[in-house]
A = this chain, B = another copy of it.
Amino acid sequence: MLEQEIKIPASHAASYRIIIGMDILGSLWSRVEADFAGYNKFVVTDENLVSAGHLQKLLGREKAPTFIIKPAGETSKNIDTAVAIIEAMEKAYLGRDTLVVALGGGTVGDIAGFAAAIFKRGVLVLHIPTTTVAQADSSVGGKTGVDSSISKNAFGAFWHPAAVYIDVATLATLDDRQFRAGLVESVKHAIIADSEYFDFLECNLDAVFGRKPDVLEQVANWNCKIKGSVVEADPGEKNLRRILNYGHTIGHAVEAASGFELLHGEAVAIGIIAAGLIEIEMKLAEPGRLERIRQILQKLNVPVTLPKELADKDLIDLIKRDKKAVNKWPKFVLISKIGEVYSHDGQYVVDVAPEVVEKVLDKL
């Protein structure tokens, strides 16, 4: 018997730039052309962005092959859409010197990022996020994926962007429900990483709802700083990065159980309350903490209890299918106080017995 050892060398460190501004969409394309000269650009967006005029504003008089996702939203976040995008890139004779420009919300970014990750074994992707959830969360960090009929992001890849350009003015056209649901990820960032940011959000939510440019810029900046620092420390989600999953384990199950009638942020809001109830069960919560979190979420006008029609759904089965599950049961992220994740033996995810989760689901 012969043996050989094949070495896989370390990859080089790299970096990417996030730009946050107000009303910069119209000037971004020339920046894209300058920063990524020599790449063929391919735009992925959805019909909402087209009708809001954002695609036209981005391109101006320039032309670029473009794929428009129809219908907009979670129902298109599946492998068929990713395949259609890739076939469109093939029909445009694009090669590995392609830059995919993802203009849109989290769904567009997830699909386009995944298509870029697997097109000819990977091409560059640049995100121009246009929703609260995408500007807060999904455009930074390199998670991409599409859903299967069974679970979210069943297909996916870690694929870091080449750059992220944020124009908070694009939020002006976002409908109120999407806008508010997207802010749940901002609240989550504050809960897990920064009590000062939590205070800021509590005090400035009215200005946020009024979509005041300077406050929106600050929110985007705070979100990218928190998300970025976590991702830098643990890009492959071995440990620390999992804190970003706060509220998501039960949130994802609730989202799937609703048949995606609930928006991601709405489901995560319920998941955050569930995490708070678990913390109470496990004696990790100081008095009044969950109430404070519940109040800010209620002010966002997102659900904080399990909708009645989901009460008889098998959430436990969906939780077992969580992609981070080991031996068919996931670990949970909990907090010790607002701004600080609970850790045990250096691990940021902890065991929670199924019975505790079942009890909490009954209370939810």
B231 touches A6 (CB 8 A): yes
| Interface bracket on A | 35 or more
Copies in the complex: 2
Taking a contact as CB atoms closer than 8 A, the residue among B2, B12, B225 that contacts A4 in the complex is: B225
Residues of B contacting A3 in the complex (Cβ-Cβ under 8 angstroms):
17-20
A90 touches B154 (CB 8 A): yes
Residues of B contacting A231 in the complex (Cβ-Cβ under 8 angstroms):
6
- Bound together, the chains give a CA A323 to CA B123 distance in angstroms of 11
A8 touches B160 (CB 8 A): yes
The residue on B at minimum CB distance from A123 is: B323
B158 touches A121 (CB 8 A): yes
A156 touches B120 (CB 8 A): yes
- Which of A142-150, A169-177, A192-200, A347-355 binds B? A142-150
Residues of B contacting A151 in the complex (Cβ-Cβ under 8 angstroms):
90
- Bound together, the chains give a CA A118 to CA B148 distance in angstroms of 12
Q: Is A91 an interface residue (CB 8 A)?
A: yes
Residues of B contacting A302 in the complex (Cβ-Cβ under 8 angstroms):
none
B118 touches A232 (CB 8 A): no
A23: min CB distance to chain B, Å = 10
Taking a contact as CB atoms closer than 8 A, the residue among B17, B93, B118, B142 that contacts A328 in the complex is: B93
- Bound together, the chains give a CA A95 to CA B325 distance in angstroms of 5
Q: Mark A219-237, 1 if CB is under 8 A from B, else 0.
A: 0110011001001100110
Chain A residues with CB under 8 Å of chain B are 1-21, 24, 79, 83, 86-87, 90-91, 93, 95-97, 114, 117-122, 140, 142-145, 148-151, 153-158, 160, 164, 217, 220-221, 224-225, 228, 231-232, 235-236, 320-328
14 contacts between A and B (CB under 8 A): A2-B217, A3-B17, A6-B18, A6-B231, A8-B160, A79-B79, A90-B150, A91-B150, A95-B325, A95-B327, A96-B326, A97-B326, A121-B153, A121-B156
